[in-house]
Amino acid sequence: MVFKWLDERLELKKFKEKFLSKTFPTHPAFLLGETALFSFVTLVATGIFLGFLYEPSTRLVSLFGAMVPAAYASVVKIDLLPMGLIIRRIHHWSAMIMIAAILAHLLRIYFTASYRKPREINWLVGLSLWGMTMVAAFTGYLLPYSQFSVTATSIAYYVSKSVPWIGDWSSRLLFAGDFPSDGTVPRFFFMHVMLIPATLIGLISLHLLILIKQKHTEPRSNRDRKEAQGGRKLIGIPIWPEQGAISLSFFLFLLFVISLMAAYIPLNPIETYGPPSPGTPVMRPDWYFLVIYGFLKLVPGDLVFTVLGGKITPETIGGVIFPASNFIAYALVPFLDRSKEPQHYMENPLHRPFMTSLGIGAIVFFCMMVVAGYIDVLHITPKAMTVYALVATAAAWSTSYALLRRYNRKRGNNAKA
C-alpha cells in the first residue's frame, strides 16, 4: 500500500531498476571507504546527542564547589548522565576509526593505482575529505575545554601565528582573536558542528556521485572472467538487496566494535585532565596527529631563516610546511603517474616497483615520526632520532625497490615505473 502510494509519486520501481540494480564489485578492500562513511554516520548521530547537552562557553560556573569554564562543566555533566560517557567515547572512537579507515582506503587506492585516469578528480576529493576530517577532529579537541584541550589548541594557535606574512591575521580569524580568549570556543563549536560537517557531507556526496558515474575499479581477475563471459560492463552484485545487506550488516558490526572499544578502552578522560590550569603535564595528541607532533619535536630550534621579509621558524616548518607539502605531493600523484587510456582495473602493487617502494618509504617515515613523538620516554635525542628516521626511510625505500625489481625481473616483466 505505502509502496504503491510512494511509487505512483516517486517512480520507485524505475529507481530500483535504474539505480538499485547497478552492479557493485565485491572485494574486501572495498569496505574501507564504507568504514569511513559509517564512522561518519556514527559521528553525526552521537554528535547530535552531545550537541543537545554541550554549552559552548568559557564563562565560569560552579561545579562541585569549584569555578570552572561552562564548556568543561557541561561535558563533565554529559559524562555523568546515563549512557552519556559511552556516547562521548563512541563519538571520539568513531573519529579515530574514521581517520584510520580514510588512510587505509587511501593506501588501497594508492598501491593499486586506482587514482589514474579517469579517477584523478575523485582522488583530489578524497584528499580534501581526509584534510577536512582532520580539521573536524582538531576543532573537537577544544570543545571539552579541559587542560588537554587548551594545551593542544594553544599549540595550534602558535603554529598558525608563526606563519610568515599572514599568520598574525589568519590566527585571529581562525581562533576569533587571541587564544585563550572567550571567542575561540563558540567559533570552534560552530565550525565543528556546522561548517565542517556540512562541507564533509557535500564532499562525501560528490565523492559518491563521481564513483557512481565512473564506476568502481575492479580486481584484475575480473578482466579475464569478463572476456570469457563476452564483455559485461562490471562483475559484481546488485546494490539492492545484496550489497545493501552486506553494507548494513557491516555497519552493525562496525557499530558493535566501536561500542565495545568505547565501553572498555577509556580515552580523553577530561575529569583526569581537569579544567585549564597553569601546569602542562605530559600529553600526546590522538594517533593521527602523532606524525606532526613527532616532526615538531625533531625540527631544531635554531632552524630559522628569512624569505622575502617573512621569518620561517621551526614551528612553521613542522606545523604548516611539512603537512602542507605532504598534501601537495599526494595531490600531484595522479598527474605524475599517468595512464593514457582510462583504467578500470586495480594494478598489482608488486608490479609497480617505483610507486610501491615510494609508498613503503613514506609509511616507514611516518612510523618513525610516531616514534619521534615518544623520544622523551625512549630517551633518544632529537638529533639521533632524525638520523634513525632518515636511515630507516632510505633503507625501506631502497630495499623494497631493489626487491620488487628483482621479483619482476624473475617473472620476466620489464618492470615499469
Partner 1 sequence: MVDGNSGKEGGKEGITRRRFALGMLSASLAGAFGSLLALLKVLAPEKKGGGYATTILPGDVLVYAQGGSAGAPIMASSMKVGDAVLAYPTGKSLNPANLVQLIKLEETAFKPPTDISLTDQGFVAYSAICTHLGCTVSWAASAASPAASFTECYCHNSIFDPAQGAKVMAGPAPVPLAQIGVKVMQDGTLAFASDFDGPIGPQV
Residues near partner 1 (CB under 8 A): 151, 154-155, 157-159, 161-162, 167, 169-170, 172-173, 176-178, 180-181, 183, 277-283, 293, 296-302, 304, 313-315, 318, 375-376, 381-382
What is the smallest separation between the CB atom of 167 and partner 1, expressed in angstroms? Answer: 7
Which residue in 296, 276, 282, 4 sits closest to 142, CA to CA?
A: 276
**Shortest approach of partner 1 to residue 380 CB, angstroms?**
10
Cβ–Cβ under 8 Å, residues 352 and 113: yes
Closest separation in Å from C-beta 173 to partner 1:
4
Closest CA to 71 of 138, 146, 154: 146
Q: Which is nearer to partner 1, 23 or 162 (CB)?
A: 162
Q: Which residue has the cell 595522479?
A: 334
Q: Which is nearer to partner 1, 200 or 298 (CB)?
A: 298
Instruction: Give the nearer residue to partner 1 in terms of CB position, either 132 or 163.
Output: 163
Give buried/exposed letters for 238-250 (b at 16+ CB in 10 A, else e): ebbeebeeebeee
Q: Min. distance of Cβ 150 from partner 1 in angstroms?
A: 10
Choice between 230 and 279, CB closer to partner 1: 279
**Cell 632518515 maps to which residue?**
390
User: CB of 75: closest distance to partner 1 in angstroms?
Assistant: 22
Nearer to partner 1, 315 or 347 (CB): 315
Quote the DSSP letter at residue 395: H
Nine-digit cell string for 386: 632524525
Measured from the CB atom, the residue of 116 and 187 that comes closer to partner 1 is 187
Question: Which CB sits closer to partner 1, 66 or 83?
Answer: 66
Pick the closer one to partner 1 by CB: 162 or 356.
162
Least distance in angstroms from the C-beta of 183 to partner 1: 6
Identify the CA nearest to 126 among candidates 197, 206, 193.
Answer: 206
Provide the minimum distance between the beta carbon of 386 and partner 1 in the complex, in angstroms, as a whole number: 12
Dist CA 94 CA 96 (whole Å): 5
- Provide, rounded to whole angstroms, the least separation between the CB of residue 189 and partner 1: 15
If the CB atoms of residues 111 and 148 are measured against partner 1, the closer one turns out to be: 148
Least CB distance to partner 1 at residue 177 (A): 4
Nearer to partner 1, 299 or 355 (CB): 299
Question: In whole angstroms, how close is the CB of 289 to partner 1 at the nearest point?
Answer: 12
Minimum separation from the CB atom of position 171 to partner 1 (A) = 8
Please identify, using beta-carbon distances, which residue of 129 and 155 lies nearer to partner 1.
155
